[in-house]
Amino acid sequence: MRIRRLIPWLAALLPPAFLTIVTFRYYVPVPFSDEWMVALLLEKFYQGRLTFFDLWKQVCDHRFVFPRILEIGLARLTSWNHYAQILMNLSFAFLTFFVVSLPLVKFCWDSKDDRPLWVLLPFSLTVFSLRQYELWLWGDGICFITCILCAMAATAALSQKVFRWSFFWCAAILSIISTYSLAAGLICWPVGFILLSLTEFTKKETKISALLAWGAIFLAVSASYFYSFGFGQPCFTPSLFYAWEHPSKAFFRFFSYLGALLSETERKARFFGLMGFLWFSILTVFLFYRRNRYQKEFLPYLGFGLFSIGGGIMIVIGRTPVWASRYTTLSYPFWISILGMTVFFLKSVAGKYARYLGIFALGGITFSIFSASVSSQYHFRWYKEKIEPARRELFTLKDKELDKKLFCHWGEEFLKERVKFLREHKLSVFRGAP
């Protein structure tokens, strides 16, 4: 029995092992894109000029408070060793995998049924998908992964069968961290309201107190988040009224976002997103009908899906293209949700054709995620071929287009000033340099 339970866990270790090998083979240890802003913050830290406002200030729609603290702290400890940053990203991904798998594992343990444990492999393929190549190749992907980790943990904490104040406060703290890691973290709060309303309370007064407390924390966090907030239109993004002006395009963009983990092609992503949303809706209605039977296990996966759906609504309003790799990190909890809810669907139905439908859904989603992940390997090779020469050119600064090659959006002079600082303190690419 114990050996049989270990086999799904061993199978689930294959995707992260493969991802780790591919990432370290093709990763180029150099500041890239938004990491150049981290270099500026690190310079202020070394000079004793870093303030809380530098961490808290708005960047597009986000306030990267906690990821910046992690990045600066790790850079100080390791002389900004970029491999250490990638290891931190992978470690947080492992924690996320543990969080989203825990409700299923607890269910298998309580029911003494090992068969659902095989869904750990699709879970692992989803969390460690190569489709998220921007997350794995950009050290600054810690913003996304911290948001997702804390959001999933907060959702799991609020999805207890019987309400506990200790879990409530843990969820509140995790939601605050998620909010101040990425704008999508704001979705934790409405999802929390839904989960609290579905959780069993011993007293009605306790439920009212919990909802009021959650609302008060949400209002306080929102007030601090949107204080002196600029609602301008960042570069390469549609206006806030895009969905209102183009409802049909916004509709299709939403499903492209949901399905982007399963395909890089917008049309295929849209199809997968639409089919996934329909199946998610069917599962939700069906499992609510049998909620008393699987409430404890069902609610976390419902929350995971609602988080991704809420994030999709935010992204459709403010970002393009929605099927870009970095946004699959926000949409993959939706597929974790579907996979988990399908397990409870299969446990609930007795009809042969209904079971065939559930098995087909599990197999189709798993195969599609695996195929999209494998086909994304070429992005890693492209990154290595393009960025490695640019890394070498940092030592001479003769290339006038270097800022564009390293996606330093603040211009050539900004890059040269940061390189001077990094060279002086022997950080990043200059670690160990004479």
Give the chain's length: 434
pLDDT computed for residue 250 by the predictor: 80
pLDDT computed for residue 237 by the predictor: 60
pLDDT computed for residue 148 by the predictor: 96
430 in any annotated domain = no
pLDDT computed for residue 265 by the predictor: 87
Domain count, the chain: 1
Contacts of 351 (CB under 8 A, 6+ apart): none
Is the C-alpha dihedral spanning 312, 93, 361, 302 positive or negative? negative
Cα–Cα distance for residue pair 304/299, rounded to 1 Å: 9
User: For residue 64, which of 53, 76, 75 has the smallest C-alpha distance?
Assistant: 53
10 in any annotated domain = no
353 in any annotated domain = yes
Cα–Cα distance for residue pair 310/72, rounded to 1 Å: 30
Interior angle at CA 151, CA 304 and CA 116, nearest 5: 40
6 in any annotated domain = no
Cα–Cα distance for residue pair 89/96, rounded to 1 Å: 11
What are phi and psi for residue 62, nearest 5 degrees?
Answer: -110, 160
418 in any annotated domain = no
pLDDT computed for residue 45 by the predictor: 94
Contacts of 107-111 with C-beta under 8 Å, sequence gap 24+, read 107/294, 107/296, 107/297, 108/5
SS (H, E, C) 223-237: HHHCCCCCCCCCCCC
Domain that holds residue 171: 27-381
pLDDT computed for residue 123 by the predictor: 97
pLDDT computed for residue 295 by the predictor: 66
112 in any annotated domain = yes
395 in any annotated domain = no
User: For residue 368, which of 269, 301, 266, 255 has the smallest C-alpha distance?
Assistant: 269
Cα–Cα distance for residue pair 130/423, rounded to 1 Å: 33
Tabulate helix, strand, coil % of the chain (nearest 5).
80, 0, 20
pLDDT computed for residue 294 by the predictor: 66
The whole model's pTM is what?
A: 0.93
Cα–Cα distance for residue pair 313/253, rounded to 1 Å: 9
CB crowding 79-113: b at 16 or more within 10 Å, else e: ebbbeebbbbbbebbeebbebbbebbbebbeeeee
**Tokens of residue 375, six digits:** 């086909």
357 in any annotated domain = yes
pLDDT computed for residue 83 by the predictor: 93
Q: What residue ranges of the chain have pLDDT lower than 50? A: none
pLDDT computed for residue 70 by the predictor: 94
Give me the residue label for tokens 């994304």. 376
Cα–Cα distance for residue pair 34/407, rounded to 1 Å: 8
Cα–Cα distance for residue pair 176/56, rounded to 1 Å: 13
Cα–Cα distance for residue pair 189/207, rounded to 1 Å: 16
DSSP three-state, residue 156 = helix
